[in-house]
Structure 1
Amino acid sequence: MGIDARERRELAAAVRDAAASGPRGFLDEAGHPRRDTRLWKVLTEQMGLAGLLLPEPDADGGAGVTEVALVLEQLARSLAVVPGLSSLGSAATLLRLTGTEPALALMERMAEGEVTATVMWPDLAAPSVVPEVVADGPVAAGADSRVTGRAEIVLDAADADVLLVPARNGIQAVVVAVEAHGPEVTCAARNGLDLTRGLAAVDLAQAPGTVLGSGVDLPAALDLTLVLIAAEQVGIAQQCHDAAVQWAKERIQFDRPIGQFQAVKHRLVDLLMALELARSALDVATRAGDDYLAEPTPEHARALAVAASMAKAQCGAAATTVADESLHILGGIGFTWEHDAHLYLRRAKSLEVLFGAPATHRARFANLLLQEAAHA
């Protein structure tokens, strides 16, 4: 890829500065966040981050999964109320893998900030893709289609402009773009544990749409989404650890900062080790993702699947542990509504089970390695 380490550091700092205001002004206690439109315009129209995955030569700088993961990590550190994971991440990767003219045209509209998109995955609790929505009509890219089905939970669907729907048309798997607020589409907001991310149930009843492509590697698209979820989890763990360390330096008990107490120091070191192991797993997964985008061979797809599950398991456990333990280090202030610690723990817990809990991905990781060994 064309972005070097220095440029990545500058990108991370720019995103972190843009999102520094935090989520508080966009939340309500009912669990229905509203988008930070100012920040979204900065990220898309001014910084051009919605076009990171446009294939070369259209993309400026030749960015890839590594750069998208970096952006999502920084957005997670501030719990920014924008459709980062859904639009910048999951939708953009699915469109990139689809790769047809209609898919790339939609990517360009997203890059210009005209629309946001989200993927209507069939089951947000499973690490696999079995399309349940049914599509009628031709399967050629650009053809009109009618789709019918339901998804119980779709990320950011209430505020999205376009739904990307993996569907089955006979024996073919297709990706259909449906206007989120178009005819025959019902979108009902749902409460979630994470107060900073919108959820909705979506019903499609012969909803009109456009076929973006067929024969798309949906499992690989989901694996790329797992990698980007892991990036958010690393961002949460990093922010929580930083907050705990800073508090340990400032909080005075018995005329000493609590960070001088051995029990607190040992706990912070243990959390740092969990964070660094998670970051290492994420680095392996982002490289596997970039290798697959550059050359989508079966070998790279298998490597991506292994790395994605490894990262999802390692980063999911780390984010939840660090967020939980950091809240305890903060003490009484960490348990109040006014402090952001509970918001990070909510995000960590919701991401931990999204597309499979750590135990599920450890089992998948082991099975994939056993299959590789059997065919070696």
Structure 2
Amino acid sequence: MIELIRQSVLPHFGIEAAEAKISALGNGHINDTLLVRWPAGELVLQRINTEVFKTPNALVSNADKISHHLCAKSLQQQYGLKVVSPCLTQEGELAIDLGEQGFWRAISYLPHSLSIEVVKSEQEAEMAAKAFGHFASALSDFDATQLEDVIPQFHHLPGRMVLLKQAAELDSQHRLDLCRNWVDYALSQQALLDELAEISPKLPLRICHNDTKINNMLFDKRDMSSMAIIDLDTCMKGHLMYDFGDMVRTFCSPEEEDSTALDKVQVRQDIFAAICRGYLSELGDVLTEDEKRSLWLGARVICLMIGVRFLTDYLNGDVYFHIHREGHNLDRAANQFTLYQSLLDQETVLKAHF
């Protein structure tokens, strides 16, 4: 792939192949992400997974619109984080479509940035939640319908449940016997679907990040302050309860999402409280009362839904999420279902933090 980048991609950005140093960046599940450095500068280069993102031009267009809006807010001193912006090709395009060789785009690289995989303190959790809340607040006056749905019904739990049931019935990889207990557990959560159906029509459409993992908020490693919100690939219209829920999912466990130490996977109450403080400090005056009530639901839905998605991919043969070992997606699913159960077990205590 490196040779392809040097010969076919870098020239579109006016970069001499011989001068460029290319290295892997991050550990995303979906796209291939690289850091390109050359004497005159640096940028982040991505090959978009077009099996996942069927309309990649919509993806880069969405990100461009959000970047422009946040830059305008920054100039008005209404947005205090740095903005990751697209790097145009020499032809003035947002991306390069090389057909079978990939769909490529470049975005600005932020020096001195640092990402973390596991939240270690209340301070980190509150700071990141505040940053995601600040991001959502700055976009609250942006018409959400201007963005295209790059993955239709991305956070649609009923649809995800149907896909899980279909994958289990088909059992194309003959893996059902290895995970039947988790399939039965997931499909038994009908009460959550009923609760979701009751409140969803009452919620306004917002621009949502849809992937508020801790590693999508960059810290400034010079002083560990919040620097930027990154990875705008799944920014679409939706409900903010899902952004809150994904923070709970990815901040609250002391273990990474693929850890097999299930006895250690639990929702840390102090981290949950810090998320509530940080997020609501930026959005308290923006959210409607129904939105505030939906946050607890969002936490439960996201933990269950991501587990369902990992489990479905495992049954289908690991065609969506990158894996690094046999049974990786099953390990991820078990981890997420364990975290979901921890939420249920601590409901009274956790809801008191709203």
Query: What TM-score results when the alignment is normalised by the length of structure 2?
Result: 0.32
- Between Structure 1 and Structure 2, the one with more helix by share is 1
Query: What TM-score results when the alignment is normalised by the length of structure 1?
Result: 0.30
Higher relative contact order (CA closer than 8 Å, sequence separation 6+): 2
